[in-house]
Amino acid sequence: MNFAKEIGAYTGLLVLAACVLGAGIVASRLTGGLLGLPVGAVAAVLTFLSLRRVTGRVVAAAVDQR
Protein backbone atom coordinates (compact mmCIF):
# COMPACT_ATOMS: atom_id res chain seq x y z
CA MET A 1 0.00 0.00 0.00
CA ASN A 2 1.16 3.48 -0.85
CA PHE A 3 2.11 5.67 2.15
CA ALA A 4 -0.10 8.56 0.99
CA LYS A 5 -3.08 6.24 0.58
CA GLU A 6 -2.47 4.81 4.03
CA ILE A 7 -2.46 8.30 5.54
CA GLY A 8 -5.69 9.02 3.67
CA ALA A 9 -7.33 5.91 5.09
CA TYR A 10 -6.32 6.74 8.65
CA THR A 11 -7.43 10.34 8.18
CA GLY A 12 -10.82 9.15 6.93
CA LEU A 13 -11.27 6.95 9.98
CA LEU A 14 -10.19 9.79 12.26
CA VAL A 15 -12.71 12.15 10.67
CA LEU A 16 -15.45 9.53 11.05
CA ALA A 17 -14.63 9.13 14.74
CA ALA A 18 -14.56 12.90 15.28
CA CYS A 19 -17.93 13.33 13.56
CA VAL A 20 -19.54 10.53 15.56
CA LEU A 21 -18.19 11.80 18.88
CA GLY A 22 -19.03 15.40 18.03
CA ALA A 23 -22.61 14.58 17.10
CA GLY A 24 -23.07 12.58 20.29
CA ILE A 25 -21.65 15.31 22.49
CA VAL A 26 -23.62 18.11 20.84
CA ALA A 27 -26.91 16.22 21.02
CA SER A 28 -26.25 15.27 24.63
CA ARG A 29 -25.43 18.84 25.64
CA LEU A 30 -28.42 20.28 23.80
CA THR A 31 -30.81 17.82 25.43
CA GLY A 32 -29.24 17.85 28.88
CA GLY A 33 -30.54 16.18 31.97
CA LEU A 34 -31.38 12.51 32.22
CA LEU A 35 -32.22 12.16 28.52
CA GLY A 36 -28.85 13.52 27.41
CA LEU A 37 -27.06 10.18 27.37
CA PRO A 38 -29.57 8.19 25.29
CA VAL A 39 -30.11 11.08 22.88
CA GLY A 40 -26.35 11.47 22.45
CA ALA A 41 -25.96 7.75 21.84
CA VAL A 42 -28.72 7.75 19.23
CA ALA A 43 -27.18 10.77 17.49
CA ALA A 44 -23.78 9.07 17.45
CA VAL A 45 -25.23 5.87 15.99
CA LEU A 46 -27.18 7.72 13.32
CA THR A 47 -24.12 9.76 12.37
CA PHE A 48 -22.03 6.60 12.10
CA LEU A 49 -24.65 4.87 9.97
CA SER A 50 -24.91 7.84 7.62
CA LEU A 51 -21.14 8.25 7.17
CA ARG A 52 -19.87 4.66 7.23
CA ARG A 53 -20.45 3.99 3.53
CA VAL A 54 -18.45 7.05 2.46
CA THR A 55 -15.66 6.25 4.91
CA GLY A 56 -15.68 2.63 3.81
CA ARG A 57 -15.13 3.70 0.23
CA VAL A 58 -12.21 5.92 1.21
CA VAL A 59 -10.57 3.12 3.18
CA ALA A 60 -11.28 0.55 0.46
CA ALA A 61 -9.71 2.82 -2.13
CA ALA A 62 -6.66 3.19 0.09
CA VAL A 63 -6.12 -0.52 0.59
CA ASP A 64 -6.79 -1.45 -3.03
CA GLN A 65 -3.59 -3.00 -4.38
CA ARG A 66 -4.10 -2.16 -8.05
Q: Largest Cα–Cα distance of the chain, in whole Å?
A: 51
Q: If you average pLDDT over residues 44-54, what whole number do you get?
A: 91
How far is the CA of 53 from the CAs of 17, 27, 36, 37, in angstroms?
A: 14, 22, 27, 25
Indicate whether 66 pLDDT > 60: no
* Burial category of 24 from C-beta neighbours within 10 Å (exposed 0-12, middle 13-18, buried 19 and up): buried
pLDDT class of 30 with cuts at 50, 70, 90: very high
Q: Judge contact between 8 and 62, C-beta under 8 A.
A: yes
Cα 42 versus chain centre, distance:
14
What does pTM read for this prediction? 0.79
Percent of the chain with pLDDT over 70: 95
The ranges assigned to domains in the chain are: 3-63
